[in-house]
Amino acid sequence: GAPTISIFLKPHGVLAPGGSTTICCICQHSYGSFVLYKGGRRLHSPEQRGSRAEFSISNATYEDRGTYSCHYLEGGTVLARSQELEVSVEEFRLPRPNLSVLPGHKVTAGADVMFHCTSTHPSTGCFLYLEGQIRAQLLSRERGDYSLCHVQKGDSGRYSCQCYISASREWSAVSNTLDLVVR
């Protein structure tokens, strides 16, 4: 079948001006090439190692904001396009939140896990990120937590969170990371 591309930011989250991140594109085919687009504009080809391509954004400015996608080509033919990845650059004005997980970092498959993102600032919303995933989970505003019921091996990975006040577009830095291991 046709190859699929996944695209994600590493590390995840909204960038502060001057910050850095890497746009990662992964395709299960490894003999073609990748092209990165921003909006409809083709950017230069990313650094490529086999089935993975990386494009670094360093010393971010508001110019780096936008929608990015990756195309995978073989012999000049586009075989796959990734989903669109939104890159945001905002001032960090809120305190950095703390991420914790209950019952702990190592759990058995089928267990229920609760992530808690603690911000010292009231009235923030927070996002929970899992490295390698394009989508973020919106945490419950009242408690800043997110429950994963009946976790599976696929829920293992490196998590972090980031908080914001939507009315003022103010953001925090990204929290500490937590590695969840599902056995």
Distance CA(34)–CA(117), nearest Å, equals: 36
What is the average pLDDT across 153-182?
A: 92
**Higher per-residue pLDDT: 75 or 158:** 158
Distance CA(170)–CA(147), nearest Å, equals: 25
DSSP state of 18: T
State pLDDT tens for residues 34-85. Answer: 999 999 899 977 788 888 999 999 999 999 999 999 999 988 899 999 999 9
Cross-strand bridge partners of residue 69: 37
**How is residue 9 written in tokens?**
């930011």
Distance CA(14)–CA(84), nearest Å, equals: 15
Task: Identify the structural domains of the chain with CATH numbers, from first to last.
Answer: 5-87 (2.60.40.10), 92-182 (2.60.40.10)
Q: What is the pTM of this model?
A: 0.88
Distance CA(23)–CA(46), nearest Å, equals: 9
